[in-house]
Amino acid sequence: MDRFFSILATCPLFFNIGEEDFAALLSCLNAKTRHYERGEMVFRAEDPATHVGIVAAGAVDVVQEDFWGNRVILTRLTQGDLFGEAFSCAGVEKLPVSVMAVEDTAILLVDYRRTITTCSNACAFHTRLIFNMLRILASKNIALTRKIEFVTRRTTREKLLAYLSAQANEARRGEFTIPFDRQALAEYLAVDRSAMSAELSRMQREGLLTYEKNRFALKAPRDSS
């Protein structure tokens, strides 16, 4: 288990908790590392949402079954990723999704109640865990809201402009680099890659912006007077 410490230390749930507290924390949380082979279920839809998981090694898919029985992969999680926290914190009775190992995988499972309940030992880190959990949920919230602002635009051009404008605002200047390559950006904005490429060059031709690889420059910036 020792070798997972460095991975867990990078997980935002344990942010600002000293490594020296780790052993105590994991035992107080009754955390268990479990191993799964490819195809094994970590969580099963309809299970109660009592635990949160952290991918210590390997990868899992979060999958959902639709009304017709088709299995849809919602997302793939890898080392350091946290899952199940939203369902636990929201107090849902039954998980609406399953989590399945896509390869040999190690998962740290912790009981949700123990993380957000101050224990009888008055461990110092419980407060920190709660604070971290709030931050995790809130940050994800902001990221999801942002994404929705982009993907709910009707046209590829509008999606691009909304996204690029947000990036420019964040960078506080019209020139900036984005963390996606074209394929990833297209997936993020939920559009076709080649259509997006075409739209980008059209916009460049029209003088709205210039770009080269991941570096973009928006033109006609706001009057900053």
The site partner of 200 among its own copies, DNA, none (C-beta below 5 to 8 Å per kind) is DNA
Measure the CA–CA gap between 103 and 35, rounded to whole angstroms.
10
Question: What is the DSSP code (8-state) at residue 41?
Answer: E
Task: Report the distance separating Cα 74 and Cα 93, nearest Å.
Answer: 20
Query: Which span sits near its own copies by CB under 8 A: 1-9, 17-25, 86-94, 197-205?
Result: 86-94
Taking CB under 8 A as the binding criterion, the range among 20-28, 53-61, 165-173, 178-186 that sits at the site for its own copies is: 165-173
Expressed in percent and rounded to 5, the helix, strand and coil fractions of the chain are: 45, 25, 30
When asked if residue 148 is in the footprint of DNA (CB under 7 A), the reply is no
Indicate which of its own copies, DNA, none lies near residue 223 (CB less than 5 to 8 Å, by partner kind). Answer: its own copies
C-alpha 108/C-alpha 207 separation (Å) is 51
- Residue placing its CB nearer to DNA in the complex, 89 or 162: 162
Three-state secondary-structure class, residue 178: coil
How far apart are the C-alpha atoms of 124 and 22, rounded to whole Å?
A: 12
Which of 2, 66, 93, 212 binds its own copies (CB under 8 A)? It is 66
CA 13 to chain centre: 13
List of residues contacting its own copies (CB under 8 A)? 65-69, 74, 85-92, 96, 116, 118, 127, 130-131, 133-135, 137-142, 144-145, 147-149, 151-154, 161-162, 164-166, 168-169, 174, 190, 192, 218, 220-223
List of residues contacting DNA (CB under 7 A)? 154-157, 181-183, 190-201, 211, 213-214
